[in-house]
Amino acid sequence: MSSTKQEHDPLETVVRFVCGALAGGLVGFYMGFRWKLSGFLPMLAITMGFCLVFAFCAVRYGDDFWAGLMRR
Apex CA 46: angle with CA 25 and CA 33, to 5°?
80
What is the pLDDT confidence band of residue 19, given thresholds at 50, 70 and 90? Answer: very high
Every domain of the chain and the residues it spans: 10-71
Whole-number Å distance between alpha carbons of 65 and 46: 20
Apex CA 25: angle with CA 23 and CA 27, to 5°?
70
Strand, helix or coil for residue 21: helix
Tell whether the model's pLDDT for residue 3 goes beyond 60: no
pTM of the entire predicted model = 0.83
Tens digit of pLDDT for each residue in 39-67?
899 999 999 999 999 999 999 999 999 99
10 Å Cβ neighbour count for 20?
26
Portion of the chain with pLDDT greater than 70, in percent: 90
Q: Are the C-beta atoms of residues 16 and 60 closer than 8 Å to each other?
A: no
